[in-house]
Chains A and B, each alone.
Chain A
Amino acid sequence: EADIYQTPRYLVIGTGKKITLECSQTMGHDKMYWYQQDPGMELHLIHYSYGVNSTEKGDLSSESTVSRIRTEHFPLTLESARPSHTSQYLCASEGAGDEQYFGPGTRLTVT
C-alpha cells in the first residue's frame, strides 16, 4: 500500500547522543519535507528535498542534517541531541498536485 512511514515512533535518549530519524515513502514522490511540531502547535519546516541529491534548509534547521540518496528515503540526523530538541518530528512527501502527505511522526524526548 502506498504510504509514508516513520521510525521510530517514540524515542527517549540522553543529551549529546547522535540520532537518525527514518522516513520512507512508497508513492514515488520527488518532494519530501521534515517538520518539527510541538503537540497541536505550528508546523516548523526543518529541511526539504526536491529530489535525489537535492536538500535545502528550512526555517528551523539548526543542528540537524538530511540526505536524499534514494527517492523513497529521507533520513534526518541530529548530531548532538539537546533537551530543546524534545518535540514531534513529521515527515511529508508531496504529490504531483502539490498536496502533502504526512507520516505518523516520531515523538522524541531528550533527557
Chain B
Amino acid sequence: GENVEQHPSTLSVQEGDSAVIKCTYSDSASNYFPWYKQELGKRPQLIIDIRSNVGEKKDQRIAVTLNKTAKHFSLHITETQPEDSAVYFCAATQGAQKLVFGQGTRLTINP
C-alpha cells in the first residue's frame, strides 16, 4: 500500500521569508496529492491539491510542485505571514484507495 513521508517535522521561518515542506510517496499509481492546513484547535482544511497530470499549481502565495519520476511533491509558501503558522499535512491517493497522510509539519512564522 501507499506510504507517505513528510519533512521536516518542524519548520521555523522569519515573516516574509519562504517555507518549503516536502513529501515522498511510494505508490507510483497515486494520482491525487492534497495539502491540508490545521490551525491550533481547528479542523484540517484543504488548501491546495494537485493531480498527476500537472507538474505545478499555484494559488496566490501557495504553490505545489509534483515530480512523478522521483515520487515527491512539495508545498511552497512565499511571503509568509503570522497566520501561516499551523500544522501542514500532505497526502496521496490513487483514486479508489483511501487517502494516506504524511506525519505533519509544524510551521512557525517568527515576527
Contact = CB atoms under 8 A, between A and B. Distances in A.
A45 B44 CA distance: 14
B26 interface: no
A98 to B, nearest CB: 5
B68 interface: no
Contacts of A33: 98-99
Chain B interface, DSSP helix/strand/loop, else mixed: strand
Contacts of A12: none
Contact of A43 (B32, B49, B89, B93): B89
Nearest to A31: B98
A99 interface: yes
B108 to A, nearest CB: 12
A83 to B, nearest CB: 22
Chain A interface, DSSP helix/strand/loop, else mixed: loop
A94 B83 CA distance: 27
A43 B40 CA distance: 15
A65 B41 CA distance: 26
Contacts of B98: 33, 45, 48, 58
B44 A43 contact: yes
B71 to A, nearest CB: 18
Q: Rank and list the top 10 A-B pairs by shortest CB-CB distance, nearest first.
A: A102-B43, A98-B32, A43-B101, A40-B87, A42-B103, A102-B44, A99-B46, A104-B43, A42-B104, A48-B98
Interface of A: 33, 39-43, 45, 48, 58, 90, 94, 98-105
